[in-house]
Structure 1
Amino acid sequence: MTATSDTETFPDLHPPRDVVWIARRLIDAGFDTWTVGGAVRDALTGGHPKDWDLATAARPAEMRRLFKRTVPVGIEHGTVGVLGRDGVMYEVTTFRRDVETDGRHARVIFADHVDEDLQRRDFTINAVAWHPVTHEVRDPHGGVPDLRARVLRTVGDPAERFREDRLRVLRALRFAGRFAMRIDEGTWDAARAAAPELTHLSAERVREELLKVLRQVDPPSIALRMYRDSGVLAVLLPELQACAGVPNGAGEEDVWTHTLRVVDAISPARAGLRMAALLHDAGKARTRTERDGRVTFPDHAAAGAATADAVMRRLKFSNAEIDTAVHLVAQHEAAPPADAPDPVLRRWLRRIGPRYLNDVFRLRIADLRAYGADADARRELVALWRRARREVARGTPLEIGDLAIGGTELRQLGLPPGRLYGEILRDLLERVTDDPALNERETLMGMVARRVS
């Protein structure tokens, strides 16, 4: 496909009114100004983007003179946040061009023409500029034809683009998945060749790209399959690469394929849960055993929880995110039958914790769907979910802190503080789990008094 530097006129892409207002003010002051980036790409494909960025020939100091309300969001990089009359902040960046790169970051200098700015973009579909006043499209690299043909290719030489910033390999996989695009052969070959160098990326940048896949790509398995096919999975997530080719039971698909089905079955609005789903069976690769033709994965949930902890710490997730995912992976196989006696259900609720209840069931339901479980199995699990939610809603004691008495009452009975407190309270919780009606102050005080008399 031949790129063209000709400027075409397109219909109005309907940006927010203040985008046009900002552009007009800059243009009237003599500064060429265009909208650029993902908003232009998405609008050209029929989307309704919310975040619009502008690129201009104006330098930061000139922007701040023209607009009363500005925020210095990245002046050293040429970016000024301009507060529109609607109260929204729009990022306006001086045209730039790269002069030096190290595979992670680029050193840039200011430029005078939009084409120089578009030259430094990663992919042709992101190297399109739209003029908010004249409605002209500037497309020197053929991004619009590539959008129409659903082809993803780099601006210029793909090997050079990936050397400039290795994160572009991951971005390529995400964009191809998100927009259902075919990656150009040269771009794909260069991405595969660059995959071993991804270890030089910071953990934070890898984490954020992975989360964008889980949030933006529907279904995420499209991009995640390309992670494996390109060699990226083996480099960045070898624990998941190890699941590929491991049969998920006799005559069934492999663990990696099943994992992708589970991730797909969870809402993109729950990226944290999708992350737990991505790791939920990671322990199977090292726990698979086969005896007499029967395949089992003893303690794979515990092994998977340990793997989830290691992967998420390596990618520098927050402690809260790690704790949640690790707990969900550890508990994803442990649900009792729908007709379990009430005390059995309560003890299970104590183990998983009420705040994890809904996500444990969401993950389990996704797992069942991935296995192709019949409607009866899914209905049984939903019935158990309803029972569990009713139990929590009625305030059933599930933790020591839920008991009607505590350390204060034990001191009132003349018991000295010490290990005995914990033993007594744990015993009371067991008895209250069997019969929640016992959780009354006087009743529990009497039980303790009889125990120590």
Structure 2
Amino acid sequence: MTARESATELARRLTAAGHAALFAGGCVRDRLLGHEPKDYDIATSATPAEVLGLFPGSNEVGAHFGVVIVRHGGHSTEIATFRTDGSYKDGRRPEQVTFSTPEEDAARRDFTINALFEDPASCEIIDHTGGLADLKAKRLRTVGRPADRFSEDALRLLRAVRFAARLDFQIETETWSAVRELAPTLGRISIERIRDEFSRILTCPSRARGLDLLTESGLIDVFLPEVRALIGCEQPPQWHPEGDVYVHTRIMLDLLADDAPLPLCLAVLLHDIAKPPTQTVDADGRLRFNGHDALGAEMAREILHRLKYPNAVIDDVVFMVARHMQFMHVQDMRVAKLKRFMAAPTFAGELELHRVDCASSNGFTDNLEFLIAKREEFANEPIVPAPLITGRDLIERGEKPGPHFKAILEDAQTEQLEGRLASREEALDWLEARLDS
């Protein structure tokens, strides 16, 4: 059973019980745009109690807001009672809601393209706000006065950017003016909600346009002001003919695959975040950014902690930012060092970061091609295999645990990675000689 079939059956049972039941919001919008909706929402005249009566055991996640989650046919469908919202004193949630009509329910929604209804039985589209015309014109427009909608929930400012980027829509003039004017009010929203919306923008295929809209609107200054300094931070033209650090970064984002994972997108965004504070000019006029990778890793950690990303995401991003300049030296690395370098869990992401870094600037591909060839060469066995000797072998030979253990075991691993130790017997002979020296 598909998600639509499941939701259609739920709507049929609601209407059979005498209630109105319509598909609502994003599922209607996406289907009209030719995209298969991931899930379906139903708006109904039934109260939450009536919905629970028809579907006992469902999850009443928001009785105050008239929302019930019904599980059916392997899918979860949100069923919400038609409502009118009261005042939004906290800039996020209405103080009270009143169950109402489809027309009034449409009037409380954020954007016209999200205020469309569909009759599940006839597939008729019900449009109370002009959303169909806006869909056809590829235009994002608020329902009613933009200032009213954004003051109700300032997160809608970020949602405007997300929908415009994801759908490749133009933001209607009055709506865009309100986004720019009210951008500072985003600061009233919890950082967790901002982070989640920002992550959706950064992982959509049009993430570069999303970044442009965040920057042009001033929204980026509320939660990631460090990006502003990238604009106008010039780079050596012989290495970066594309322009300043911001231009370089947005081109890299644009070159990523549509389904690039969040840690990679964040690493690309932040890989040169420390170029502005490290920029110096030599006596001959050459621009330099010494140490921007190390400082960038520190800045990335502070930024991502501030945005409350999970530690696993932070660690991966920081590691990728810290190492991104080492790719220029890979052809000079000894085999052992190169294998350790390539064995990092983040290496696939780092390789992609390096690819778009070069493609967006000087176009050099020699290090990329070298690493791809090495990856194929090392593919038949683990890049860093299990060690041939361990600390227990040292203890059995009368050595007391201490800092020298690490040096000995690392040297043994280097010999193994370089191909000079191929068996445990050879490694034990090497160890005996090492301890006797």
TM-score (norm 2): 0.92
1:319 aligns to what? 311
1:262 aligns to what? 252
1:44 is aligned with what amino acid?
A: L
Q: Which runs of 5+ in 2 are unaligned?
A: none
Cα deviations by residue, 1:138-176 (Å, 9 ceiling, x for unpaired): 222111111111221111111121111110100111111
Conserved 8 A contact 2:252-2:268: yes
Q: Taking structure 1 as reference, are residues 301 and 77 closer, same or farther at Cα in structure 2, changes over 3 Å only?
A: same
2:271 aligns to what? 280
**In the alignment, structure 1 residue 57 sits paired with structure 2 residue 48:** no
Conserved 8 A contact 1:43-1:49: yes
Conserved 8 A contact 1:36-1:129: yes
Cα deviations by residue, 1:47-106 (Å, 9 ceiling, x for unpaired): 22121100111112211221256333434432222233x322211111222112121333
Q: In 2, Cα distance between the equivalents of 1:392 and 1:74?
A: 52
Conserved 8 A contact 1:166-1:197: yes
Where do residues 303-382 of structure 1 align in structure 2 (5 Å cutoff)?
Answer: 303-336=295-328, 340=331, 344-351=334-341, 353-371=343-361, 373=363, 377-378=364-365, 381-382=368-369
1:279 is aligned with what amino acid?
A: L
Cα deviations by residue, 1:332-379 (Å, 9 ceiling, x for unpaired): 1212567x36x6243134246432221111111111121161xxx336
Secondary structure, counterpart of 1:325 in structure 2: helix
Aligned pair count?
429
Q: In 1, Cα distance between the equivalents of 2:231 and 2:259?
A: 27
Conserved 8 A contact 2:256-2:356: yes
1:274 is aligned with what amino acid?
A: C
Q: In 1, Cα distance between the equivalents of 2:233 and 2:401?
A: 53
Q: In 1, Cα distance between the equivalents of 2:431 and 2:94?
A: 69
Alignment equivalent of 1:449, drawn from 428, 432, 435: 432
- Of 318-327 and 244-253, the range deviating more from structure 2: 244-253
Q: In 2, Cα distance between the equivalents of 1:372 and 1:74?
A: 54
1:444 is aligned with what amino acid?
A: A
Q: Taking structure 1 as reference, are residues 451 and 344 closer, same or farther at Cα in structure 2, changes over 3 Å only?
A: closer
Secondary structure, counterpart of 1:107 in structure 2: coil
2:151 aligns to what? 163
2:394 aligns to what? 410
1:173 aligns to what? 161
Q: In 1, Cα distance between the equivalents of 2:345 and 2:123?
A: 51
TM-score (norm 1): 0.89
Cα deviations by residue, 1:19-43 (Å, 9 ceiling, x for unpaired): 2221121112121111111111111
Where do residues 210-225 of structure 1 align in structure 2 (5 Å cutoff)?
Answer: 210-216=198-204, 218-225=205-212
Conserved 8 A contact 1:345-1:388: no
By how many angstroms is 1:15 displaced?
7.4
Percent identity (aligned): 36
Q: Which runs of 5+ in 1 are unaligned?
A: 1-13
Conserved 8 A contact 1:174-1:223: yes
Conserved 8 A contact 2:242-2:248: no
Question: After TM superposition, where is structure 1 displaced by more than 4 Å over at least 4 residues in a row?
Answer: none
Q: Taking structure 1 as reference, are residues 193 and 76 closer, same or farther at Cα in structure 2, changes over 3 Å only?
A: same
By how many angstroms is 1:275 displaced?
1.5
Conserved 8 A contact 1:78-1:110: no
Q: In 1, Cα distance between the equivalents of 2:256 and 2:390?
A: 40
Q: In 1, Cα distance between the equivalents of 2:387 and 2:189?
A: 50
Q: In 1, Cα distance between the equivalents of 2:201 and 2:389?
A: 48
Conserved 8 A contact 2:4-2:39: no
2:409 aligns to what? 425
Cα deviations by residue, 1:88-128 (Å, 9 ceiling, x for unpaired): 22111112221121213333424131122111111111111
Q: Taking structure 1 as reference, are residues 34 and 108 closer, same or farther at Cα in structure 2, changes over 3 Å only?
A: farther
Alignment equivalent of 1:95, drawn from 78, 82, 100: 82
Q: Taking structure 1 as reference, are residues 141 and 285 closer, same or farther at Cα in structure 2, changes over 3 Å only?
A: same
- Of 295-304 and 222-231, the range deviating more from structure 2: 295-304
Q: Taking structure 1 as reference, are residues 344 and 452 closer, same or farther at Cα in structure 2, changes over 3 Å only?
A: closer
1:202 aligns to what? 190
Conserved 8 A contact 1:128-1:139: yes
Q: In 2, Cα distance between the equivalents of 1:266 and 1:305?
A: 21
For the aligned residue pairs, the C-alpha RMSD in angstroms reads 2.2
Q: In 1, Cα distance between the equivalents of 2:342 and 2:302?
A: 21
Q: Taking structure 1 as reference, are residues 49 and 259 closer, same or farther at Cα in structure 2, changes over 3 Å only?
A: same
Q: In 1, Cα distance between the equivalents of 2:340 and 2:322?
A: 14
By how many angstroms is 1:252 displaced?
4.6
Secondary structure, counterpart of 1:371 in structure 2: coil
2:97 aligns to what? 109
Alignment equivalent of 1:440, drawn from 412, 415, 423: 423
2:275 is aligned with what amino acid?
A: K
